[in-house]
């Protein structure tokens, strides 16, 4: 494999590793949390409902802290069909579509990370039942969602 192709394949992993470090950084960091549950998922079109043939891939790391009533996240995506228009957590089991419960900033240039305030009860439920929630990334071409992944520990 040539170096350029290797780098293209490695970029999402590098971005997510950096985001994961940012999420668990020392207390001086604006995105750090002293308590909470770290969750992650890989993202693909095969996980969408209905599944699609997207070559897009991605990864999401989510840290849920009910005590501080917030969710911190990092999302990295690559090879999507078009510009990302939305990204968020939905409440639903694998194979089922559900309502949006936490909005994320769309991954501009393939990456986004931030912390958002949430209801403490929602944070508690996501932390206790991560498989009942999924991360979804929507694009201009696939408005219903191009890549998706169920949260897990």
Mean pLDDT over 114-118 rounds to 97
**Predicted local distance difference test score (pLDDT) of residue 11:** 52
pLDDT tens for 56-92 read: 999 999 999 999 999 999 999 999 999 999 999 999 9
Question: Do 16 and 59 contact (CB within 8 A), yes or no?
Answer: yes
CATH topology of domain 3-150: Immunoglobulin-like (2.60.40)
Domains of the chain: which residue ranges?
3-150
Asked, as a colleague might, if the bond just before 50 is cis with ω within 30 of 0, I would say: yes
Which of 76, 63, 50, 54 minimizes the C-alpha distance to 130?
63
b/e map 84-117, b = 16+ CB within 10 Å: beebbbbbbeeeeeeeebbebbbbeebbbbebee
Convert the pLDDT of each residue in 99-113 to its tens digit. Answer: 999 999 999 899 999
């Amino acid at each position: 494999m040539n170096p350029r192709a290797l780098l293209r394949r490695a970029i999402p992993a590098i971005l997510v590793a950096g985001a994961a470090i940012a999420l668990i950084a020392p207390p001086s960091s604006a995105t750090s949390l002293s308590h909470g549950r770290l969750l992650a998922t890989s993202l693909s079109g095969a996980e969408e409902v209905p599944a699609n043939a997207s070559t897009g891939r991605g990864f999401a790391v989510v840290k849920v802290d009910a005590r501080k009533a917030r969710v911190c996240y990092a999302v990295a995506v690559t090879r999507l069909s078009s510009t990302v228009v939305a990204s968020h957590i939905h409440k639903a089991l694998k194979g089922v579509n559900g309502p949006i419960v936490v909005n994320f900033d769309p991954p501009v240039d393939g990456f986004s990370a931030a912390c958002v305030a949430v209801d403490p009860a929602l944070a508690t439920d996501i932390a206790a039942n991560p498989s009942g929630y999924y991360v979804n990334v929507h694009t201009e071409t696939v408005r219903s969602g191009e890549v998706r992944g169920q949260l897990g520990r």
